[in-house]
Structure 1
Amino acid sequence: TSFTAAMVRLAGRCVAVDADVDAANLALLLPGEDGEWRTFMAGRRPVIARDSCTACLACLDNCPYHAVKLSRSMAPEVVELACEGCGVCSLVCPVGAIHFVGHKAGAWTVRRTAFGPLVHAELGVGEDNSGKLVAELRNEATRLASEERIELVIVDGPPGIGCPVHAAVGRADLVVAVTEPGVAAAHDLLRLLDLARHFHIPAAVVLNKADLDARASRELEALSADRGAPVLASIPFLPDVPKALAQGQGLLDVPLLRPVLEAAWDAIERLLRQPKAA
């Protein structure tokens, strides 16, 4: 996220998207004023009609996630945090007393910053469908870019390789993977580069804390080269970085990192200018 914020600042004007909706924090580094928060509806939740329910407990007995319990009045009720919306309860109810309704899973907004709009969101505790929320943020960013004639959209992707990553990568012109030396990081990097290749998206790599394990960093460089992904920058570990972040500053405010980040941005711009493969 801190690397993305630095790229947004260097871009000058763009639409930024925080796709790490499970733990969004890009807004901490891009101050501004949030607009109206809009509800994100996802999934479905069962509702038990009390006037129709006969308390036969078929829903309680058959729920595979144990998301139905008895209330104090001995009537079945749904535990929302445990419910996966599978529909078994509705299927086995002999009187049709269970129906499904839309469920508020989070909210999103557009923040106006000095560098352009920032589309970010908050996913509710224990909620899923984060991939759908990321897709909604991407669609809003595309609309804003077209409406305000902004050529560049920068997406801060989530960690790992799950559903929200797929939603963040889709339709991209370039994937920049920020990784650190280590076995788990190498595994995720390999899968992300393979994902980018599957969708025919050019990829590049940035090594963070590269000097903590020189051997592992060299292995990551070799892995990246094997996948045709150039290493744009090797960022050293500096104690000044967490100090700057704690004061609300970004990586560009750390003097030793500014030239490294500027070189990385120049390389990204060159890659974006390259003709797209057929």
Structure 2
Amino acid sequence: MVTGADVAFWLLAPVMVLAAIAMVASRKPVHSALSLAVVMICLAVQYAALDAPFLFAVQIIVYTGAILMLFLFVVMLVGVDMKDSMVETIRGQRPLALLAGLAFAALLILAVGNAATSPGIGLEEANGAYGGNVQGLAGLIFHRYVFAFELTSALLITAALGAMVLAFRERLGEKKTQKVLVAERMRRYAKEGEHPGPLPTPGVFARHNAVDTPALLPDGTQAETSVSATLKARGQVLDSSELSQATQQTLRAITSNDDDQEDEQ
């Protein structure tokens, strides 16, 4: 008898496999993150088809909606240069990653083999032992595996503190005040001609607000400083010359009117 869970599996399993391959094979981090989002959403649908509503909600809200989207937004805002990403900051990490991959493959083969050869308990029987799916998870997490759960929490907190310690940079000089920063900007403006104000924002007035579109100056030319240097290095900056034609036409009309008035005088 074909159930809804079987249909969901055979429909979504190929999509999950293709998205997982795309996540590994993609050269751009944003594409990898989007492929991972597809895998997580399909996995959440599998949980829903197997009558696991709690895991379905956690998969969507926590993993797909919070952690993955946060990672995706950070990658899109900060940007990752391909040259920097290829630099090996920790020596010997590639052989260790290879060993970890082989160990994970062996563990996966053993798990699949065990699931194929041993008789399954069944989801209904497992949920019925505690009175439901949510009650069963609560019983396992806070009773049977409470020590492992708390140990995992301590491990995550330790990893977060370690990341903060590694990312901390000791200040070598005195922190500059706002007054000092303003004085430095004015000196650079006097010596090098650098504009002391904030950089122009990306986008073309109200017509376009994408970060890959340069801003337009009052004369219709592009403001090169309004686009991130990372996008310039990737060659992903859009050409806003077509959008600036209306501004240039208005500027030429105003200039021609001024010239006509000067000729009449």
TM-score, with structure 2 as normaliser: 0.20
Name the structure, 1 or 2, with higher relative contact order (CA <8 Å, separation 6+). Answer: 1
In proportion to residue count, which structure has more helix?
A: 2
Which structure has the bigger radius of gyration?
2
TM-score, with structure 1 as normaliser: 0.19
